[in-house]
Amino acid sequence: MAKDKSIAVWIDLENVYYGLKKYHMNPDHPDPQHNLFLRLQEHYGRHKIRMMEVYGDFEQLGPDISINQLLKKHVHIHHVHGNGRGEEERKNAADIQLCLDAMDVLHTVSGVETFVIVSADQDMIPLMDRLWSRGKRVELFCLQDESLSRDAHLEAFCDEFYNLFEFLNIAQFQNLSHMDRHLHGALIQIYEWYKDVNNKGKSYGSSWIKKDLVRKLNLSDEEAAELFSRLIHGGYLIPHEVHVDGNIYYGYRVNQDHPQVRTVIRIAGYRIG
């Protein structure tokens, strides 16, 4: 007896990737409870998913997304060239190609009754409306943060609306202020500095940390100083000394005993003791 494969999943990966990147999280997270693809398969049941189509400019996404790892999860890859610009000015045809392919499946593949769309892009509204008008069930997953227009009312164009913060078990990140995001970004920056083999045996001093906060988080000198002070007084950082040739170099490293620090590092995909 043939299994009922009635679900088609369509993922605008660039949209999701850059949305999650603000929270230092990879959609192909090593922990299954935070992994977008594994969570979708768990939610719907792998035997019910007829296809899982993923769209993006994989040259722009770089090493964070492994095509081989996606293929192992039975994900179909659609590489769509972008404009080659950075994150702020990026624009590609991934959403257009996704819509065209979804409409093609609507008209040529029988048995697909549920179309699952993973994207917060308002350009998906015409697609969802067309699928719905053809009697198909439409379900939408997106990040509900400030990047989602309050005027879009995406939930009005689908049968089920899922918040990716809750679906990926990162609900604690949904209502972060900009300063909280900067705090998380600083923690990851300092943690990764010590993981860099080029910094082995070195200590990350306060002046260098604040300079890097300015450069990497686009902060002013005053904002960087305020953020550093918060990291110290909140117990997020602890002193770190390095002894070299009779000299002592003072710096700071992340406090891995702090519960919030542990959560941020784990969500970023690192294993901590």
pLDDT tens column, 172-219? 999 888 889 999 999 999 999 999 999 999 999 999 999 999 999 999
Domain match, 67 and 198 both? no
In a domain, 14, yes or no: yes
Domain match, 164 and 186 both? no
Token representation of residue 141: 């997953």
Domain match, 161 and 58 both? yes
From the centroid of its chain, how far is CA 67?
Answer: 16
Task: Give me the half-sphere count of Cα atoms (radius 13 Å) on the Cβ side of residue 117.
Answer: 33
CB atoms within 10 A of CB 57: 20
pLDDT tens column, 216-229? 999 999 999 999 99
Domain match, 212 and 155 both? no
Domain match, 166 and 191 both? no
**Would you say 148 and 120 are in contact if contact means Cβ atoms under 8 Å apart?**
yes
Domain match, 193 and 68 both? no
Q: What is the pLDDT at residue 1?
A: 36
Residue 165 vs residue 272, higher pLDDT: 165
Evaluate if pTM is beyond 0.85: yes
**Would you say 67 and 78 are in contact if contact means Cβ atoms under 8 Å apart?**
no
Q: What is the pLDDT at residue 92?
A: 57
Q: Which amino acid is at 168?
A: L
Domain coverage including residue 205? 178-267
Mean pLDDT score, 54-61: 91
**Would you say 88 and 46 are in contact if contact means Cβ atoms under 8 Å apart?**
no
For residue 254, give the CATH number of its domain: 1.10.10.10
In a domain, 214, yes or no: yes
